[in-house]
Structure 1
């Protein structure tokens, strides 16, 4: 979408943000959540923080980065509300569990390791997320997802700490992540 189109939807988006981000304890978190959503809606080659902030008139790279990566909040109520809204709209026929890979360079992003990367069809340096989708023959909506943390990460607690992985996170096989994801966020 072009910036003008997104700006015209600001009123509708405000209602969505109030509903979905209502569980966030601070007003600034809700504000930057709205800004982040507008950034995701904008046309652009990359949806990472820096290019999104540059495309938004009120974009602030540091504030958006804080919202996405360091802001203290429980993501489950937000995910649950998004899942409830989506399943009201599409009335799922099936639930699909999938793993999605994201090719990456370097070793600093959480979970990046040399592993099978479906995006390139072979072993490569990537992140993997396990997701649960509500699906019909006309739509597929991700409802919950977890980043897969390879054992090599959990074997290096300092690496996890530097990347912001909470101390209580342990390695889980992908199938276990999928089972945990199917129990939440909708509770079905």
Structure 2
């Protein structure tokens, strides 16, 4: 997908350019993908810019999601396509990341301190793509301010 399609979702050029590098890093063959590894892969000295993009920069994440979904439907259109719900857990060491608690995660195959995301994936004969991610928020997190 050309980055020009989502360019208008960013209020500044710097986050738009960094988002392009982030996407390329996510699509790369890096064995581990996080802000540190992707920033290094993109030639940045530290992960601060990638972290800023994901947590504080001003851009329309929902609009980007919608643009990606439209692109997927346009280019992977298949009358027999299905939507697949997939959950993925990431083991976490701390307890301050949103949604982290001791819970089952298939990544570890057991109950671990982890964060779980749920993905809606479009799957058809011409390909597949994640079209809507959401973070699973356990009840223990909804009771605290």
- Select which of 54, 68, 72 maps to 1:82: 68
- For 1:102 and 1:137, how far apart are their aligned partners in 2? 29
Q: Structure 1 segments of 4 or more deviating over 6 A?
A: none
**Which residue in the other structure is 1:46 paired with?**
32
Is 2:41 the counterpart of 1:67? Answer: no
Name the SS of the counterpart of 1:78 in structure 2: helix
TM-score, structure 2 as length reference: 0.85
**Which residue in the other structure is 2:96 paired with?**
108
Is 2:132 the counterpart of 1:144? Answer: yes
Q: Mind listing any 5+ residue stretches in structure 2 that lack a counterpart? A: none
TM-score, structure 1 as length reference: 0.68
Asked if the contact 1:132–1:143 (Cα under 8 Å) also holds between the matched residues in 2, the reply is yes
CA shift digits 1:150-182 (9 cap, x unpaired): 11112222xxxxxxxxxxxxxxxxxxxxxxxxx
Matched length: 143
More helix by percentage:
1
**Which residue in the other structure is 1:179 paired with?**
none
- Select which of 123, 128, 135 maps to 1:135: 123
Q: Mind listing any 5+ residue stretches in structure 1 that lack a counterpart? A: 1-12, 158-188
More strand by percentage:
2
More RCO (CA 8 Å, sep 6+): 2
**CA RMSD after TM alignment:** 2.0
Asked if the contact 2:35–2:50 (Cα under 8 Å) also holds between the matched residues in 1, the reply is yes
